Structure 1
């Protein structure tokens, strides 16, 4: 793991480290209150230590996104917050946001550092000559792949970028033309969070409705949850969010973020869009008799 980064700004970005995992999601959440009208310009930039480059420039005329970020980010124009998904090691560096509203230009800086997904290695040894090694996960034989390496004459097994699907009981079988023996098993448990789901799906509600949102994820131990509205953190936590007597100003983008305390990993759900329909529909009909 890299050392944590620092964030700073003039009332724009909160203080504190931002650490995420390769393949995960990170939210750069500003401290700005949602505006009724979008900012004139929101400009996010990235500096990996060589030279700054733009990520996205959002103006009233439209958005311009750098090709390497297409499909990987969501910008919340009302707060200037940014969500970046499918993280890569090359995303490690310093992020800057410049927000312009008339002559006002808040500028914030945040250093975001990405943690490598974990790796695990096993080593097997035995006395004798002409030894052959066979690695097992429970009852399945392990073979090499892009993530699985068997080296040192077969006596060492390494799995990189482990996922929860690498869970299991690992053992080594050693044999030669005379005899064979197996090691004691070693259990591997890989934790989430993964597959964060937000229910129900995006839909329209009438003013005054009560809305019950539910967030779930695969995680060991159980994940904790935080909720966001238009990119800004909501008070309270837990896997459920209850909105009572909703009003028009509560229309917008909702998401939940799951956190696993053991892996220190975050994962964010898809966006749920809540919009309001008019409460009443009035119709008039005139009848003329002759």
Structure 2
């Protein structure tokens, strides 16, 4: 037998070289990857190669062997695996998550070895969320929402508040691989709706939404008189004072005049044909019986005569003084008698 310089038989070296060349030239291409549980996956050789015999294995477990037009499927894949005896393509039906792994094909006619990895995933289904409570107090409560799925492999979790993604911050925590959302010291802007989106490489699903009822206020009060910022009015005018505040639930409103409560509640205080003695401070008092907080706002109203009347009286006095001054000047001038 002919040998090389190092003593290796030439025919063995030729076979090894053919294996290396064949292994590098042929690739295995899955028809689907990743695949969904229940799919049918075909592992084809590229470029297409005519194989007279060979075997397929996943990891250390044989799937099947074939020689010519005869093939033998091992028990672990009986009824689910078959090979194309011309091209060596392997077809697996009704795949399960256990079918994930590295698949290796070997052939002696011609000599080749190639492999590929496939992943089989279970689709996400039935995404649900649980909350600790839905009625919260601003700055004094925390919202905790847990998300879960009934089935699905390698799930990833994403949270939405309305259409905006929720990300971790000083008040927001994402725990348990992002499946649990905690919002500490909630504000009135944390009402929701919150939704949990779960996905993997083959599917996605979203939970129903949850909203929180957050009690807050009263604060940010405003008071207008006759819809304007003016606080001076004429005797005999009609006044409508409007009081507003941010509060949930809506605050109870009470009016006061010069510090004394009036028998008027609600956002409007109406005064008709006002007189001077109604000048003074008017206050709107707000109280939220859920938060036990209160707030107030005060405006000072001045009621008097028409500024125009005062101007006319002043002008008349000026004319009288001017006439008297001219008369005095005329009488005191010598030679005029």
Q: Greater Rg, structure 1 or structure 2?
A: 2
Kindly indicate whether structure 1 or structure 2 has the higher relative contact order, using CA contacts under 8 Å at least 6 residues apart.
Answer: 1
What's the TM-score, normalizing by structure 2?
0.44
Structure 1 length-normalised TM: 0.50
